Structure 1
Amino acid sequence: MNRVDSHQHFWIFDPVRDSWIDDSMQKIQRDFLPQDLSPLLSENQFSGCVAVQASQSEEETNFLLDLASKNDFIKGVVGWVDLRAENISERLSHFSQFEKLKGFRHVVQGEPDDFMFGAAFRKGIAALKEFNFTYDILIFHRQLPAAIDLVKSFSDQAFVIDHIAKPDIKSGEIASWKEGIKEIAKFENVKCKISGMVTEADWNNWKPSDLKPYLDVIFENFSADKLMFGSDWPVCNVASDYKQLVKTLEDYMSQLSIEDQNKIWSENAKSFYKFND
């Protein structure tokens, strides 16, 4: 099986730039580069991955593109660009020359809850379509109403929700997140990454049964055509290891047809980010 990890990160650790990696996350306060990920992919039957931005600069985008140019298993890059910039079309035109650059992301989870209603941000989202760029939605569950309005307003734009919109798995709160997921899943232009769940759970004590109610909601509302696996490596290392993440999803999906499993492990990521093996 040629699986694809649709969501992981690389960085050369910088304590100032990467201040979000605080002392509770000491396990990941170091460099993580392609040579660290490659053996994990091989061991778990993955042939490729999508590298996603972790800091908000064009330097980050260029850093990931450079890694992708030197490592064939990095099939795509989700970079960062200032979507609110007045010259956004010019910047997107520049980045459109890079075949492995598939889309962009902004760390909206760190912004005010009304951020996605901003006129400049929406002008940037509107500009993505001309260059066939995707957009990864990174939010906390309380920001789902704004995300629903965004995907409704840009029905021709390809969106994917990162980390199932970060429900509070540790506390077990599910109701308001579930309502938001039911609504946003109705839109044809929205897919969802099965990623980032263990870091929203109790890092040291989570069990697969803690994730199951949230997985049930995702699978009930997004079809097998709209879900894709992402490890969120190396962030996941604070709560799990790569193999455990993969096995948890393998076990959960064991009742699905092989065809549907293949869609979630690889085909959906390939079609969304437009790459082949």
Structure 2
Amino acid sequence: MRIDSHQHFWKYNQVRDAWITDDMKVIQRDFLPEDLAPVFKENYIDGCVAVQADQSEEETYFLLDLAIKNEFIKGVVGWVDLRADNLEERLIYFSSYKKLKGFRHILQAEVQDDFLLKPDFCKGISKLKEFGFTYDLLVAPKHLPYVIEFVKRFPDQPFVLDHLAKPYIKDGKIEEWKKDIQILAQYPNLYCKLSGMVTEADWNNWNAPIFKPYIDTVIECFGVERVMFGSDWPVSLLAASYKECCEILELNTAALSQNEKDKLWGINANNFYSLEHEKVLTVTGTNV
């Protein structure tokens, strides 16, 4: 069972999606399940987790509607205003959607680097565990010192770090990022997605080996039980095909056992997100 733990859908809107600048023309269009299904078939992917790209409840409804209509969308990470006075009411409501697994806020875009430590935001985070929701952390390396304090405050909340926290792969920088990852990985409630790497490299000039130090660091620190494959499709198309994203991970984890690969490619995502209608078992290293 192979699960893509991180991809997006959207109906392109020039105003709403202004983050998709003119140097990203390849993704200035609609991306919907009918576009992704054949890609999954070609790459032997069985299902995915669709993650929000817009900060609105409308985005959450949009993804949930797609998930209801497409069985291969196993889970949704949506958006809700964690600082809202009526948050508990919204969480009770959203709990009725079985494919809604968690939430995300685009923390990397906030002006204040310590936004996630603000009292109103932390108050919202404190309510998620009660309703069984996970939380995706989208941050850059500069945010990691704050993430360390943040994760420490909520030892019972399941967190996952998106895109390895976007290390500076293009510049070959690793040391400061690595030190923070080593600290973060000590918290057992935090997982990490091996996703979004190609867009942190030089889009037009990369090769698979340049990603190995970053992949090795994450696996060494988190262990194979707390890492998961994610494509970040279609954003990843800026630098690589879906097949190339898969090959990067396959080539750089070739030394893992089949059981370890099964965890990285599906079991861990299934367990973290409690994906609907999916029970992944491993018998003698084979998924059944």
What's the TM-score bracket when you normalise by the shorter of the two chains?
A: over 0.9
- Structure 2 match to 1:205: 205
Equivalenced residue count is 276
Given that residues 76 and 102 in structure 2 are in contact (C-alpha distance below 8 angstroms), is that contact kept between their aligned partners in structure 1?
A: yes
What is the CA–CA distance in structure 2 between the aligned matches of 1:207 and 1:243, rounded to whole Å?
14
- Structure 1 match to 2:103: 104
What is the CA–CA distance in structure 2 between the aligned matches of 1:213 and 1:225, rounded to whole Å?
19
SS of equivalent residue, structure 1 residue 225: helix
Superposed CA offset, 1:224-254 (max 9, x none): 0000000000000000000011011111111
What is the CA–CA distance in structure 2 between the aligned matches of 1:86 and 1:206, rounded to whole Å?
46
Letter aligned with residue 183 of structure 1 = I
What is the CA–CA distance in structure 1 between the aligned matches of 2:59 and 2:116, rounded to whole Å?
22
Letter aligned with residue 230 of structure 1 = G
- Structure 1 residues 21-60: aligned runs within 5 Å: 21-60=20-59
- Structure 2 match to 1:8: 7
Letter aligned with residue 132 of structure 2 = N
- Structure 1 match to 2:85: 86
Given that residues 208 and 251 in structure 2 are in contact (C-alpha distance below 8 angstroms), is that contact kept between their aligned partners in structure 1?
A: no
Letter aligned with residue 17 of structure 1 = R
**Identity across the alignment (%):** 57
The structural deviation recorded for 1:215 is 1.1
- Structure 1 match to 2:261: 261
SS of equivalent residue, structure 2 residue 14: coil
Letter aligned with residue 94 of structure 1 = Y
User: Please, what is the CA RMSD of the aligned residues?
Assistant: 0.7
- Structure 1 residues 187-226: aligned runs within 5 Å: 187-226=187-226
What is the CA–CA distance in structure 2 between the aligned matches of 1:9 and 1:189, rounded to whole Å?
24
What is the CA–CA distance in structure 2 between the aligned matches of 1:216 and 1:46, rounded to whole Å?
23
What is the CA–CA distance in structure 2 between the aligned matches of 1:214 and 1:68, rounded to whole Å?
32
What is the CA–CA distance in structure 2 between the aligned matches of 1:201 and 1:251, rounded to whole Å?
17
What TM-score results when the alignment is normalised by the length of structure 1? 0.99
What is the CA–CA distance in structure 1 between the aligned matches of 2:140 and 2:259, rounded to whole Å?
31
What is the CA–CA distance in structure 1 between the aligned matches of 2:179 and 2:207, rounded to whole Å?
24
Letter aligned with residue 51 of structure 1 = A
SS of equivalent residue, structure 2 residue 47: strand
Given that residues 209 and 252 in structure 2 are in contact (C-alpha distance below 8 angstroms), is that contact kept between their aligned partners in structure 1?
A: no
The structural deviation recorded for 1:149 is 0.7
The structural deviation recorded for 1:256 is 0.5
The structural deviation recorded for 1:109 is 0.4
The structural deviation recorded for 1:42 is 1.0
- Structure 1 match to 2:285: none
- Structure 1 residues 122-271: aligned runs within 5 Å: 122-271=122-271
- Structure 1 match to 2:61: 62
SS of equivalent residue, structure 1 residue 15: coil
Letter aligned with residue 194 of structure 1 = L
Given that residues 211 and 248 in structure 2 are in contact (C-alpha distance below 8 angstroms), is that contact kept between their aligned partners in structure 1?
A: no
Letter aligned with residue 126 of structure 1 = S
The structural deviation recorded for 1:108 is 0.1
What is the CA–CA distance in structure 2 between the aligned matches of 1:209 and 1:24, rounded to whole Å?
26
Superposed CA offset, 1:136-188 (max 9, x none): 00000110011111111000000000000011111111111111100000100
SS of equivalent residue, structure 1 residue 155: coil
- Structure 1 match to 2:116: 116
The structural deviation recorded for 1:210 is 1.5
The structural deviation recorded for 1:204 is 0.4
Displaced runs of 4 or more, over 2 A: none
Given that residues 204 and 239 in structure 2 are in contact (C-alpha distance below 8 angstroms), is that contact kept between their aligned partners in structure 1?
A: yes
What is the CA–CA distance in structure 2 between the aligned matches of 1:222 and 1:167, rounded to whole Å?
16
Structure 2 unaligned blocks of 5 or more: 280-288
What TM-score results when the alignment is normalised by the length of structure 2? 0.95
SS of equivalent residue, structure 2 residue 55: coil
Superposed CA offset, 1:89-134 (max 9, x none): 1111110000000000000000120101100100110010110000
What is the CA–CA distance in structure 1 between the aligned matches of 2:43 and 2:251, rounded to whole Å?
14
Letter aligned with residue 62 of structure 1 = Y
